[in-house]
Amino acid sequence: MIDIKGKTALITGGSKGIGYGIAEIMLKSGMKVAITSRSQQAALEAAEKLGSLGSGEVLAIEADVRNADSQNKAVAEVLQKWDKLDVVIANAGLGHFGSIEELTPQQWQETIDTNLTGVFNTVKAAIDPLKSSKGYIITISSLAGTNFFAGGSAYNASKFGLTGFTQAIMLDLRKYGIRVSTIMPGSVSTYFNNHEPGEQDAWKIQIEDIGEMVVDLLRLSPRTLPSKIEVRPTTPPGN
Query: Which among 20, 136, 155, 176 is annotated as catalytic?
Result: 155
- Is 155 among the residues known to form the active site? yes
The answer to whether the CB of 119 falls within 8 A of the CB of 65 is yes
How would you label 164-175 residue by residue, b for 16+ Cβ within 10 Å and e otherwise? ebbbebbeebee
Q: Is 182 left (phi over 0), alpha (psi -120 to 50) or beta?
A: beta
DSSP class of 192: G
HSE of 201, CA atoms in CB hemisphere, 13 A:
14
Report strand pairing: 8-11 vs 87-90.
parallel
| Residues in the chain, overall count | 239
Chain centre to alpha carbon of residue 227 = 15
Q: Packing angle between helix 105-112 and helix 153-173, nearest 10 degrees?
A: 20
What whole-number distance in Å separates Cα of residue 17 and Cα of residue 120?
A: 21
What whole-number distance in Å separates Cα of residue 35 and Cα of residue 14?
A: 5
Show which residues are catalytic: 155
